[in-house]
Amino acid sequence: MPEDMSGTRVVVDADLCEGHALCIQLAPEVFDLSDEEIAGAAPMGGQWDQGTWDAVKSAVDACPRQAISLLNTSTKGQ
């Protein structure tokens, strides 16, 4: 069963990102590189399919500076 990621945002810490671009290689539909060579994430959040979320999670794990995180913004159950 697919995981519910509807309340999840992908966040890139610009202070940590060194522009290695592994995230772009793993999930090009989500990440891009600015002119300053800092990664950014598209704001779509939970609207991606499970395969895209799997790629995002791989990018989180692969980031050598641990600059990418998943932030749960859902208030469900609170």
Query: What integer pLDDT is reported at residue 30 of this predicted model?
Result: 95
Query: What integer pLDDT is reported at residue 47 of this predicted model?
Result: 80
| CA 2 vs CA 16, 35, 48, 49: distances in Å | 31, 35, 11, 9
pLDDT band at 76 (very low <50, low <70, confident <90, very high): low
User: Tokens standing for 31?
Assistant: 């990440």
**Domains in the chain, start-ordered, CATH in brackets?**
8-41+49-72 (3.30.70.20)
Q: Report whether 59 contacts 9 (CB < 8 A).
A: no
Query: What integer pLDDT is reported at residue 74 of this predicted model?
Result: 72
Burial (CB count <10 Å: 0-12, 13-18, 19+), residue 75:
exposed
pLDDT in tens, 8-52: 999 999 999 999 999 999 999 999 999 999 999 988 665 889 999
From CA 71, how far away is CA 48, in angstroms rounded? Answer: 15
